[in-house]
Amino acid sequence: MPAPVRPAVLVGGRLLDGRSPDAVVRGVLVTDATGRIAAAGPSAAASVPEDAYRIDATGLTILPGIIDCHVHLSMRLEPVADQIQRSATDLVVRALDSGRAFLEAGVTTVRDAGHTPAGIKRAFASGAFPGPRTQVSCTPLSQTGGHGDDWTPSGVVLETQVSDLPPGIADGVDAVRRAARLQIRAGADWIKVMATGGVLSAADTPDASQFTVDEIRAIVEEARAAGIRGTLAHAEGTSGIKNALRAGITSIEHGDLIDDEGIDLMLERDVPLVPTFNINFALMDEGRVARGEVPPWAVAKMRYLFERQQNNFRHAVERGVRVVMGTDSFNGMYPPAELSYLSEFGLGPFRAIQAATNEAARLLGLAGEVGTLEPGMRADLIAVSGDPLAEPGLWRDPARIVFVMQGGRVVADRRGG
């Protein structure tokens, strides 16, 4: 069992609370024995318990913990020869390993976008294993031959059978209703819908629309009826994005080829965009390609999408679409780099931080719990060396995140000295 939470006080650092770009210089942040923030602000305004232990944050910027709304804890980019050796146990071990690595990198909350069972979120929540606060979607729902169908032209299906990940391939309104109910029964907080083709799937293209509006609407209805968090749509192609929006989807993932009509729908319905730039760079990484971790067809599709997504994202931002951080990160990837990409591709350094903190918390239904540094919020926070508003590129460097706290417990302390 984890050790009891001990009150703490962080002193000497700049406080960037996720709500305002105006940092509190030489601020003080106090946590209590329940793992929540007791005070945050100028040193003169903070009351420090006598038994609190002191953490010197001089030269650091203290921010809310990063919230990544699109990860795949149990997945990894790997050659086919390795994929066919995966067992259910391998996937569980991988998910636990990813959770620990993401947490130590400063990602204190995640939404898993597919192929991770609900038992993983329970393992993290229990404290038996270190990992982020986790919401899961279990198995993504896909039409036959869609982005979630692991069939290959040879007839081999690259899918590991996991008892608590129900099947997700379904066709027709009645069948997708049942598939959605199976995920809900298995403990899904979200239902993931493959509304278009994708990059890593062998049998389709990102432009292809998948599932009809009626099919997606049935999935949305089931999620609402069950009272779970919501629905998310893998949606890269223009028509599929709009189909998902018209059906009432909660968030659009990727959104590579969104057009003005799609943006109009997002603005009208206040649906956020989760762009996931991190995976795009991974899919074009020369080392990964040389090792066979990324198949040739995926490289070609990613190159087709790469500049289009950046241009469309900038346009969506200019028009006022809400942006939430998601990375599509697999085991072995580094999620915080996404903040640098969001800033560089049009969001700017402060709004990128908001996308990874309070906007992400809002999407996940956790706005009263995490995402800002305010009294009463859970003490999920990180400290980085330097000023991320002046130097947004620091998010690409793992050495710059030197301190991580989750629920008042110190997860990682790399301050030196």
Catalytic site residues?
192, 328
* Residue 141 to residues 115, 181, 390, 408, Cα–Cα distance (Å): 11, 11, 41, 37
Would you say how long the chain is, in residues? 417
At 375 the three-state DSSP class reads coil
Written as six digits, the tokens of 109 are: 């909350």
How far apart, in whole angstroms, are the C-alpha atoms of residue 374 and residue 314?
31
* Residue 360 to residues 71, 351, 352, 366, Cα–Cα distance (Å): 13, 12, 11, 8
- DSSP characters over 9-69: EEEEEEE--SS-S--EEEEEEEE-TTSBEEEEEEGGG----TTPEEEE-TTEEEEEPEEEE
**Which one-letter amino acid corresponds to residue 66?**
I
- Residue 105: closest CA among 340, 397, 369, 366: 397
**Which one-letter amino acid corresponds to residue 145?**
G
Q: Are the C-beta atoms of residues 68 and 111 closer than 8 Å to each other?
A: yes
Instruction: Indicate if the alpha-carbon torsion angle 101, 125, 361, 42 is positive or negative.
Output: negative
Written as six digits, the tokens of 192 are: 């993931």
Written as six digits, the tokens of 302 are: 């990613």
Q: Are the C-beta atoms of residues 23 and 16 closer than 8 Å to each other?
A: yes
Written as six digits, the tokens of 291 are: 């090792």
Written as six digits, the tokens of 410 are: 């110190």
Instruction: Indicate if the alpha-carbon torsion angle 79, 83, 85, 88 is positive or negative.
Output: positive
